[in-house]
Chain A
Amino acid sequence: MIMGTSSTPLLEMRNIKKDFFGNQVLTDINFTLGEGEVLGLCGENGAGKSTLMKILFGMDVIRETGGFEGEILLEGKPVSFSTPLEALSAGIGMVHQEFSLIPGFTATENILLNREPKKRNIVSEVFGDRLNTLDYNEMTGRAEAAIDKMGFQIDKGMLISEMPVGHKQFTEIARELSKENLKLLILDEPTAVLTEKEAEALLNSIRSMSEKGIAVIFITHRLQEILSVCDRVIVMRDGFVVSDVPAKETDVSQISRKMVGRSIDSTANSEVRDLSSAKTVMSIRNLWVDMPGETVRNVSLDIKEGEILGIGGLAGQGKLGIPNGIMGLYDAGGEVTLDGVSIPLNSPRKCLDASLAFVSEDRRGVGLLLDETLEWNVAFPAMQVQNKFLKNYLGGLIKWRDERAIHEVTDRYISELAIKCTGSKQKARELSGGNQQKVCLAKAFALEPKFLFVSEPTRGIDIGAKKLVLDALKKFNRESGVTVVMISSELEELRQICDRIAIVSGGRIAGILPAAEASEEFGMLMISMVK
């Protein structure tokens, strides 16, 4: 190795590997980053960007899930951070997607949170440093310096709770900049909440940081921004670095192609149907949904009878908000009609009565009764909503569970969906993720709905189980003629079973294309209106 500061990169990651319980999420990641260099990092959700940053930052979740393989070198020396605080003290700063600010504090107080300059006094001499009083003048001075360094003016005396959302983002950046030894700043989708003007200001401040010798890793879905500010672009897909080129030598379409990748027709649905002449079974007009992190704005959509419609898009763009809003799990407004009958929003029971079913993405929270048997899990909603599996006595005054019917139907689904279990009396908690997901589907199937929402049905399950789940959905659609709307962040799996795919971006429908369309077309739609 050649010695000397000019040739030693600031950061080098060598052969980084990470798996979550056998599920490989990062494979052989190698890259270097020089002083003052701006690196753009892009990739679809689940490509491994966040995991990589978590490893670099020493987040607890990495250690709790068995650590990682490979080496991280900071200024030529191997480092291994066991907590984010150690990474911070080594000069690595990170601005997270979620705000990490105290709402009732001013910008100044937040910028210097837990690093406040202090004055000693008599009491603190006796009882220790924590009773030092804060030096407010010094605090203001330091906050001012950090804001100047950033190059975007925010009101340092304003409470965070009263700030526009963009200014909160800048407060976080100023906090990182106020750390004197900052060498590397990671920005995780910082422009997602900014207006165009603010985003431009942020790009300028990234440029000025870079001039001051601070290296920046810039994660964003807005590819134009990456091209305008970065020196180098790394594209990740499925845990691999698929491209690492200087920003000058690439363009938006090349990056988006690399992001969604894969040879184009290998996995697409072989039997895409054109159902545009079928009657509209559900019509959504001007729907808004207030689901935190998945806001939906002004969505209008027609769903044809008997089709499988996919809803795709990047995380946080609102695709999950659509089914959750319609099913009444989050505050929503607008008009939804099923077969011409209007469905009242904000009332889950009415939706179920209208023969709508929903397989939630939150299977442990909403989807399953974890401590009950599979029988109960499968039959419970049908029993509650439709009075199925009940024997009536005394003209319906007394209702008894029909244990036999419950047992039969559960056994049928266990064999149909190949649910791996010891029997229909096993507790749902004891099943693996993939099998739990199958139970969720069985539960929805048992309702025999006219219309089914399935949200992220394959999240966190292995490839074999994925195929089974997708096939089961397809079979259900074909055999019972049920209209299915499937929401997924994995474009490829949508393309495998859907007829049409709607892409949600910035809370709105960016476009609807037949599933046979090339994946780069979908890639362009995904980033078209990113907010």
Chain B
Amino acid sequence: MNNGFGKKIRNFIFDNTVPLMFVLICAVCIPLSGFSFSYLLNEIVTRMGRNIFLILCLLIPIMAGMGLNFGMTLGAMAGEIALILVSDWQIWGIPGVVLAMILSIPISVLLGYFCGKILNMAKGREMITSYIISFFMNGIYQLIVLYMMGPIIPIKHSSIKLPRGYGIRNTVSLLNMRQCLDNLLAVRIGGVKIPVLTFMIIGVLCLFIIWFRKTKLGQDMRAVGQDMNVARDAGIQVERTRIISMIMSTVLAGFGMVIYLQNMGNIATYSSHSQIGMFCIAALLVGGASVDKASIGNVFLGVILFHTMFIVAPKAGAQITGDSMIGEYFRVFVSYGVITVSLIMYETKKRKNKSLVGQQLAQAQKEEAKAHE
């Protein structure tokens, strides 16, 4: 029995290498950074409210077997465009946030549909394709924001326009809607501010995802995700289902971006979206998700671990090396590192399962030889 228990532990470690690694890193860095517990808690709670919605949008394409959706950047762009328009129209506070979300829907649907169509042509290479699509769309986004906003899409307010008369400034201030969701119904417990409304919205989304898995569409997505051919033979419209999953993910990413930016209080027009996909995916992977499997639990654990590291690493780095830039370097390095490690481990596991069949054959042969003797 002892042997079985040891094996279980080994399997547990093997299956959860990435989260365990991060628990270790955090355990080392937290004391080194010297931050107080309440400061850390405060920061983590803020970042949870800011990021979780965005990361949850990744779950749906994973369910549909389309891997990690680097194309969520498209949704983020939709959210940004919506927020730029809303802030130009001077609609602030909660109404502004709600209007921005509504405005982002048609843009997200369009982009999601486009992305889904292309990914249907690139089955089996969804991740790299969506990654490249997001670069391509970044170009279109810049064209719209830099050249079309002003002459074609009317922008009245000079505070967000570039001095030359068209195009949007590098940063658009959202001061008047800053943390309006977070502050409404906010509760302070022992010095930690809890943005109850934001958490409620996240809770609703979680419930939606759980409920969605039980719907016909959710069931179809899971079927398509595991075996497209079998699903098609059973009469499920595979391509359509995949496109729907992409659209849903993009729309949710748009909402997530609005929530993220209202918390930040300003839009970095040309860079807010550019790394959001990568950071969200890294956070999800840190939570123990893989290319073909992710749960809500992975999202929460991932956000907590990943952002704890984000908060403490620069300070800890500065303590050790005396250079605070090392922390910033560390963030980016770790994000890419985590994604790479997860992808490698996903492949290793697949290979390992494959070689298992061979081992079984060899074993059966040995037993046969014994039986003959």
Chain A: residues with CB nearer than 8 A to chain B? 84-85, 88, 100-105, 109, 113-114, 116, 118, 124, 129-134, 136, 286, 288-290, 295, 297-298, 331-333
Find out whether the CB atom of A104 lies under 8 angstroms from the CB atom of B222: yes
Find out whether the CB atom of A102 lies under 8 angstroms from the CB atom of B227: yes
Q: Which of B355-373 contact A (CB under 8 A)?
A: 355, 357-358, 361-362, 364-365, 368-369
Find out whether the CB atom of A102 lies under 8 angstroms from the CB atom of B230: yes
Find out whether the CB atom of A129 lies under 8 angstroms from the CB atom of B365: no
Alpha-carbon distance between A116 and B220 when the two chains are bound, in angstroms: 10
Considering the complex, give the chain A residue whose CB is closest to the CB of B293.
Answer: A104
Considering the complex, give the chain B residue whose CB is closest to the CB of A175.
Answer: B234
Find out whether the CB atom of A116 lies under 8 angstroms from the CB atom of B355: no
| Chain A hits for B355, CB < 8 A | 331
Alpha-carbon distance between A223 and B370 when the two chains are bound, in angstroms: 31
Q: Would you give the shortest CB distance from A181 to chain B, in whole angstroms?
A: 15
Q: Which of B325-373 contact A (CB under 8 A)?
A: 354-355, 357-358, 361-362, 364-365, 368-369
Q: Would you give the shortest CB distance from A93 to chain B, in whole angstroms?
A: 12
| Chain A hits for B236, CB < 8 A | 113-114
Find out whether the CB atom of B226 lies under 8 angstroms from the CB atom of A132: no
Considering the complex, give the chain B residue whose CB is closest to the CB of A332.
Answer: B358
Q: Would you give the shortest CB distance from A131 to chain B, in whole angstroms?
A: 5
B211 contacts which of A102, A133, A288, A332 (Cβ < 8 Å)? Answer: A133
Find out whether the CB atom of B219 lies under 8 angstroms from the CB atom of A116: yes
Find out whether the CB atom of B230 lies under 8 angstroms from the CB atom of A290: no
Alpha-carbon distance between A331 and B233 when the two chains are bound, in angstroms: 31
B215 within 8 A of A: yes
Find out whether the CB atom of B226 lies under 8 angstroms from the CB atom of A134: no
Alpha-carbon distance between A172 and B229 when the two chains are bound, in angstroms: 15
Find out whether the CB atom of A134 lies under 8 angstroms from the CB atom of B219: yes
Q: List 14 A-B contacts (CB under 8 A).
A: A100-B234, A102-B223, A102-B226, A102-B230, A105-B226, A113-B234, A113-B236, A131-B217, A132-B215, A133-B211, A134-B214, A288-B361, A290-B358, A333-B365
Q: Would you give the shortest CB distance from B177 to chain A, in whole angstroms?
A: 29
Find out whether the CB atom of A130 lies under 8 angstroms from the CB atom of B226: no
A103 contacts which of B211, B226, B358, B361 (Cβ < 8 Å)? Answer: B226
B6 within 8 A of A: no
Contacts A100-B230, A114-B236: A132 and B216 contacting too (C-beta < 8 A)? yes
| Chain A hits for B217, CB < 8 A | 130-131
| Chain A hits for B234, CB < 8 A | 100, 113-114
Q: Would you give the shortest CB distance from A47 to chain B, in whole angstroms?
A: 25
Q: Would you give the shortest CB distance from B205 to chain A, in whole angstroms?
A: 14
| Chain B hits for A118, CB < 8 A | 216
User: B interface, by DSSP: helix, strand, loop or mixed?
Assistant: helix
A298 contacts which of B231, B354, B365 (Cβ < 8 Å)? Answer: B365
* Among all A-B residue pairs, the 8 with the closest Cβ atoms: A130-B217, A114-B234, A331-B358, A290-B358, A288-B361, A113-B234, A298-B365, A102-B226
Q: Would you give the shortest CB distance from A172 to chain B, in whole angstroms?
A: 11
Q: A113-B230, A136-B214 are in contact. List 8 more A-B contacts (CB 8 A).
A: A103-B226, A104-B222, A105-B222, A114-B220, A130-B215, A130-B216, A130-B217, A295-B361
| Chain B hits for A101, CB < 8 A | 227, 230
B322 within 8 A of A: no
Report the interface size for chain B: residues with CB under 8 A from the other chain.
28
B163 within 8 A of A: no
B4 within 8 A of A: no
| Chain A hits for B190, CB < 8 A | none
Alpha-carbon distance between A113 and B238 when the two chains are bound, in angstroms: 13
B235 within 8 A of A: yes
Q: Would you give the shortest CB distance from A137 to chain B, in whole angstroms?
A: 13
B365 contacts which of A102, A132, A133, A288 (Cβ < 8 Å)? Answer: A288
Alpha-carbon distance between A298 and B236 when the two chains are bound, in angstroms: 42
Find out whether the CB atom of B216 lies under 8 angstroms from the CB atom of A116: yes
Q: Which of A85, A102, A288, A332 has the most CB of B within 10 A?
A: A102
Alpha-carbon distance between A187 and B336 when the two chains are bound, in angstroms: 50
Find out whether the CB atom of B233 lies under 8 angstroms from the CB atom of A105: no
**What is the 8 Å Cβ interface bit string for chain B, positions 160-199, against chain A (1 contact, 0 not)?**
0000000000000000000000000000000000000000
Q: Would you give the shortest CB distance from B184 to chain A, in whole angstroms?
A: 26
Find out whether the CB atom of A288 lies under 8 angstroms from the CB atom of B230: no
Alpha-carbon distance between A118 and B215 when the two chains are bound, in angstroms: 8
| Chain B hits for A136, CB < 8 A | 214
Alpha-carbon distance between A290 and B234 when the two chains are bound, in angstroms: 29
B235 contacts which of A104, A109, A114, A297 (Cβ < 8 Å)? Answer: A114
Considering the complex, give the chain B residue whose CB is closest to the CB of A129.
Answer: B216
| Chain B hits for A124, CB < 8 A | 215
Q: Would you give the shortest CB distance from A94 to chain B, in whole angstroms?
A: 10
Considering the complex, give the chain B residue whose CB is closest to the CB of A103.
Answer: B226
Alpha-carbon distance between A333 and B214 when the two chains are bound, in angstroms: 45
Alpha-carbon distance between A295 and B357 when the two chains are bound, in angstroms: 10
Q: Would you give the shortest CB distance from B223 to chain A, in whole angstroms?
A: 5
Find out whether the CB atom of B226 lies under 8 angstroms from the CB atom of A133: no
Considering the complex, give the chain B residue whose CB is closest to the CB of A89.
Answer: B235
Find out whether the CB atom of A130 lies under 8 angstroms from the CB atom of B220: yes
Considering the complex, give the chain B residue whose CB is closest to the CB of A289.
Answer: B361
| Chain B hits for A130, CB < 8 A | 215-217, 220
Alpha-carbon distance between A103 and B226 when the two chains are bound, in angstroms: 7
| Chain B hits for A298, CB < 8 A | 365, 368-369
| Chain A hits for B227, CB < 8 A | 101-103
Contacts A130-B217, A297-B365: A104 and B358 contacting too (C-beta < 8 A)? no
Alpha-carbon distance between A115 and B236 when the two chains are bound, in angstroms: 10
Alpha-carbon distance between A124 and B358 when the two chains are bound, in angstroms: 48
Alpha-carbon distance between A104 and B226 when the two chains are bound, in angstroms: 7
Alpha-carbon distance between A129 and B219 when the two chains are bound, in angstroms: 13
Find out whether the CB atom of B362 lies under 8 angstroms from the CB atom of A333: yes
Contacts A297-B364, A333-B362: A113 and B216 contacting too (C-beta < 8 A)? no
Alpha-carbon distance between A118 and B214 when the two chains are bound, in angstroms: 10
A288 contacts which of B222, B223, B231, B358 (Cβ < 8 Å)? Answer: B358
| Chain A hits for B357, CB < 8 A | 290, 331
Find out whether the CB atom of B222 lies under 8 angstroms from the CB atom of A333: no
Q: Which of B223, B361, B362 has the most CB of A within 10 A?
A: B361
Find out whether the CB atom of B361 lies under 8 angstroms from the CB atom of A297: yes
| Chain A hits for B358, CB < 8 A | 288, 290, 331-333
Alpha-carbon distance between A111 and B151 when the two chains are bound, in angstroms: 59
| Chain B hits for A102, CB < 8 A | 222-223, 226-227, 230-231
Find out whether the CB atom of B361 lies under 8 angstroms from the CB atom of A333: yes
Find out whether the CB atom of A290 lies under 8 angstroms from the CB atom of B361: yes
Find out whether the CB atom of B223 lies under 8 angstroms from the CB atom of A105: yes
Alpha-carbon distance between A113 and B364 when the two chains are bound, in angstroms: 35
